[in-house]
Chains A and B, each alone.
Chain A
C-alpha cells in the first residue's frame, strides 16, 4: 500500500481534472491495481469537516505514514506573510504544507502553480504566490532550496498548465512499483524522462520549421506552416513531451494550430502578458525572432534560416493538413 495525500492551494483544479482523464492507468486503476491509497483529495475524498482534519493532523504528526504528498496550486503567503488569502481546514494552507511536506517520503508539485507560481504569480503577484521549491526560475520557494523529503529527495516538479495525466500517473506507478530510483531529475527538478525533449519533438509542423515556412493566419491558415515565426510558438524553446505523449490521447496544441505558450517552463506566462505579446512572435528589428531555439545564437540562426528558405521544396509552401 502506498499512501497519498493530495491538497490544493491557490489552484484551479485543472491538474486534478487532467489527472481524471488518465487511462492505463486510470485514477481508479491506481487505487485498485497499483495499491495507491488516497487518504484524501479535495475532489475525491469522502470525509469532510472535522473528519478530514483528523486525517491531515495524523499525517502532520507522523501518526499516519505518508508516502506521497501531492500539492496542486501555489502556496499563498499574503497578505503580509499571514497566508490568510488561502485558509484551509481552519488555518492558512501554508501552515499545513509546512507540516505535511517533511513527513512525506516523496513530495510532488503538480502543475506550474505548485512548481513555480504559475499564473497567480504573474505580475503584480497579488496574493504573494510561490511554488513549493521555486518562485519562477529562482530556487527556494516556500520550502527552501535545502528541503528534502524523507527519502532525501527535493520536490519532484511536474509542471505544465495543466500537467498531462501521464506525467503524473507514470511517476506514481514508478513509485508504487519500486522504480523511484529510476526517476532522474533535471536542474529544475523535472523528471528527465519527460522533460529532456522539446515540445517541438514530434510536432507535425517540424518540417515547416526545418524549411522556415511560416503559418500566416489562424484557422484555415494552420493547414500549413510553423507557428514559431508569427504566432509566438515556444515549441523549440520549451521542454515537454506534448508531441510524444499526446493530449487526451488525440492531439496537442501545436498540432491543432495553437502556438505553444511554454507552460512547462518557469517563466510562463511569458513577458507577463504585456500588451503586444500574446500569440505574437517578439522580434528584433521587426524581422529576427527574439527568442530562438535553445542552444543557438542569432547570427547562426539567421544564416541557417536563409539557407533553409532557399532549400525549401515546393511542397513545403503548400497546404499539408488538408480535408
Chain B
C-alpha cells in the first residue's frame, strides 16, 4: 500500500487579513484535507459594554474594527433606534446611507490592491503570460495601479469626513438621526470628490469603460465578452485580473459552503422613518436574505445563533444573541477541550434544514440581489447568481463580486447626495427609554454585520455583535460542521507547501478583518502540532 504523506502545517501569521488569523491545515498529496481557522486575539468589547451608557456602543463598536468602523456605527445606531422607537428624518437616513456607501467605496480599491492583488506578483506565477505586466501594475508600493488605487482609496472617505468629521472612527450617527447639518458646499464638494474618484480610478483604471457599460453585464458570459470587447476594456485592471486570475487557477478553488447570508443595507428614507425590526426587510434597498444553495429565504434575526463549541468561551452554548454570553477562558484550557478560536460560530436556522453556516460578504450580497421579487426601489441584479450557477463560486468570482459593487454603490451615493433637502431636519430628539431590546444590522464592505442590545435600568444589560468575519472564519460548530472559510480551504491544491500562497488568496478573498471578530484564537498552545511536523499514514 502506497504511503501518503500527510503534513500538518500552521501558517502564523497569515497577514493581510486585517488582524491576526492563524490557519492550521492538513495536506495530503498537496491537497488540503482539513483546515482550522484560528482567530488569535481577544479584547472583550462585549464585556466592556455591559453596564455602560446605552449610547456607549456608538463609541465602542466602531473601534472593534477600524476598517469598517462606519458600518459598526451604522448598525449600532439602528440597534438603538429600534430599542428607543425613534423617529429618523429622511435626511438622516440619506446621510447614513451615503456615509456607509463611501466607507465601502474606500474599501474596494484599498482591499484589491493593498491586500489582495499583491499576491499575484508571487514568484509561483512568474511563468504565466502577462506576469511582467501584473508586477508592473500590482507590485506593493511601486506598482502603477497599486499606488493609484491605494492613494485614491482615501477619496470616498473624504466625503465621509464632510458629514461625520473624520474617517475612521466618527460617532456622528445617533439614535434619531445624525449630528451634522450639511451646507450647500458640503454637498457639492462631496459630489465632486466622488466624481473625481470615479473618473480617475473606477472608470479609467479599473474598468476602461463607463460604469453604465459595465452594469449592462447581466451574466458571467457577458463579463467574459466584456473583457474582450475593445482595447480599452481589455487593458483595464479588471480584464487583466480576469485573465491572470484564470491563468493562476483562481477560478478553480476557494468556493466555500455555497450558502449565503445578507443582512442587507441602505434604507428607503420614507419607509424607515420609524425604524422597527419587523419593518426592516421591507425598507431595505439592498435586500436581506438567505440562500441555502437551493432556495431563498427571508432573513429573520430570530433564527441566528452562536455556537461556542470550538471557541474559547465557557461551555458549549448555542444561543440567540439577545441571550448571548461572552465569558472567555484561557486558550490553554480551551485547547484541552478541543476549542481553537476566539471567533464564535454563527449559524442560521434555515427553515426545514436546521443550522447552517453561511458565507457573508459581497458575493453573498450579490447572490441575494439575484432573488426574484424585488420591489421597484430595491436592488435586483442577476449577475452573480448566474455566476455561481454557471461557473460556481471561487476566489475569482468572490473578488469580482466585490469589485462589481463599486459601480452600484457609487451610483447610489450620487443619487442620495442629490436627494438631500438641506432646509429640512437631520435629527429628531428621541426619548431615552431605560428599558428595551434592539437589533441593528448593515452590510460592511466584508459582509453582514449586526448588533443585539438589551437595555435595563438605563444601561446596557447585554450587547452582542456578530461580524461578517465571525460568519466567515468561525470555527466548527457543535455538530462538527466547518465554517465557510474552512470549507473554502479544503480541497485546494497547493503548489508549494512551504509557501502556500493559495491559502492566502482564499483567506483574502473573504477580506476577513480579524480584528473585526471581537474575539479571536491562540494558534500554538497546540504544541504537539508544531510547524512542519511531517506525519505519515499507511
Chain A interface residues (CB < 8 Å from chain B): 8-18, 20-23, 26-28, 31-32, 38, 40, 42-53, 74, 76, 79-80, 82, 84-91, 93, 118-120, 122-124, 126-127, 129, 161-162, 217-223, 242, 246-258, 261, 263, 269, 272-279, 321-323
Given contacts A44-B140, A261-B171, A273-B53, contact A219 B13 (CB under 8 A): no
State whether A218 touches B60 (Cβ < 8 A).
no
- Select from chain A the residue with minimum beta-carbon distance to B171: A258
Residues in B whose Cβ lies below 8 Å from that of A8? 19-20, 515
- Select from chain A the residue with minimum beta-carbon distance to B11: A49
Given contacts A250-B162, A257-B181, contact A126 B53 (CB under 8 A): no
Q: Does B184 contact A (CB under 8 A)?
A: yes
Q: Does B180 contact A (CB under 8 A)?
A: yes
A251 to B89, CA, bound (A): 24
Q: Is the interface of A mostly helix, strand, loop or mixed?
A: loop
A119 to B66, CA, bound (A): 13
- In addition to A13-B65, A220-B181, 12 A-B residue pairs with Cβ atoms within 8 Å of each other are A11-B66, A13-B66, A20-B110, A42-B16, A44-B140, A53-B12, A88-B13, A90-B12, A253-B172, A254-B165, A256-B170, A269-B59
State whether A91 touches B524 (Cβ < 8 A).
yes
State whether B169 touches A162 (Cβ < 8 A).
yes
- Select from chain B the residue with minimum beta-carbon distance to A9: B41
- Select from chain A the residue with minimum beta-carbon distance to B15: A48
- Select from chain B the residue with minimum beta-carbon distance to A53: B12
Q: How large is the interface on B (under 10, 10 to 19, 20 to 34, 35 or more residues)?
A: 35 or more
- 23 A–B pairs (Cβ distance < 8 Å), ordered by A: A8-B515, A12-B65, A13-B65, A15-B66, A17-B168, A84-B331, A85-B42, A85-B328, A86-B20, A88-B12, A89-B13, A119-B48, A219-B181, A248-B167, A252-B165, A253-B165, A253-B170, A256-B164, A257-B180, A258-B180, A276-B53, A278-B56, A278-B59
Chain A nearest CB, measured from B159 CB (Å): 8
Residues in A whose Cβ lies below 8 Å from that of B44? 120, 126-127
State whether B158 touches A249 (Cβ < 8 A).
yes
Given contacts A220-B181, A221-B427, A258-B171, contact A248 B166 (CB under 8 A): yes
- Select from chain A the residue with minimum beta-carbon distance to B160: A248
- Select from chain B the residue with minimum beta-carbon distance to A215: B179
State whether B42 touches A86 (Cβ < 8 A).
yes
A219 to B425, CA, bound (A): 7
Residues in A whose Cβ lies below 8 Å from that of B348? none
Residues in B whose Cβ lies below 8 Å from that of A17? 66-67, 168
Residues in A whose Cβ lies below 8 Å from that of B180? 219, 222, 256-258
A257 to B171, CA, bound (A): 11
Chain B interface residues (CB < 8 Å from chain A): 10-16, 18-20, 22, 40-45, 47-48, 51-56, 58-60, 63-67, 69, 89, 92, 110, 114-115, 118, 140-142, 146-147, 150-151, 153-154, 157-158, 160-172, 174, 176-181, 183-184, 189, 328, 330-332, 422-423, 425-429, 458-459, 498-500, 504, 513, 515, 521-525, 531
- Select from chain B the residue with minimum beta-carbon distance to A13: B66
State whether A217 touches B66 (Cβ < 8 A).
no
Residues in A whose Cβ lies below 8 Å from that of B332? 82, 84
State whether B53 touches A27 (Cβ < 8 A).
no
State whether A223 touches B181 (Cβ < 8 A).
yes
Residues in B whose Cβ lies below 8 Å from that of A13? 18-19, 65-67, 513, 515
- Select from chain A the residue with minimum beta-carbon distance to B38: A87
State whether A79 touches B65 (Cβ < 8 A).
no
A258 to B18, CA, bound (A): 28
Given contacts A49-B14, A87-B521, A278-B59, contact A323 B48 (CB under 8 A): no
Residues in A whose Cβ lies below 8 Å from that of B140? 44, 46
State whether A256 touches B422 (Cβ < 8 A).
no
Contact of A247 among B15, B161, B177 (CB under 8 A): B161
Chain A nearest CB, measured from B93 CB (Å): 12
Residues in A whose Cβ lies below 8 Å from that of B56? 269, 273, 278
Residue from the set B11, B40, B176 with the largest chain A CB neighbour count within 10 Å: B40
Contact of B157 among A118, A248, A252, A275 (CB under 8 A): A248
State whether A321 touches B181 (Cβ < 8 A).
yes
Given contacts A43-B114, A122-B48, A273-B59, contact A50 B531 (CB under 8 A): yes
A263 to B171, CA, bound (A): 12
Residues in A whose Cβ lies below 8 Å from that of B168? 14, 17-18, 162
A203 to B424, CA, bound (A): 25
- Select from chain A the residue with minimum beta-carbon distance to B427: A219
Chain A nearest CB, measured from B429 CB (Å): 6
Contact of A275 among B12, B165, B459 (CB under 8 A): B459
State whether A80 touches B330 (Cβ < 8 A).
yes
State whether B165 touches A247 (Cβ < 8 A).
yes
A82 to B65, CA, bound (A): 25
Residues in A whose Cβ lies below 8 Å from that of B524? 87, 90-91
Residues in B whose Cβ lies below 8 Å from that of A253? 164-166, 170, 172
A99 to B332, CA, bound (A): 23
Contact of B42 among A16, A127, A261, A321 (CB under 8 A): A127
A11 to B118, CA, bound (A): 23
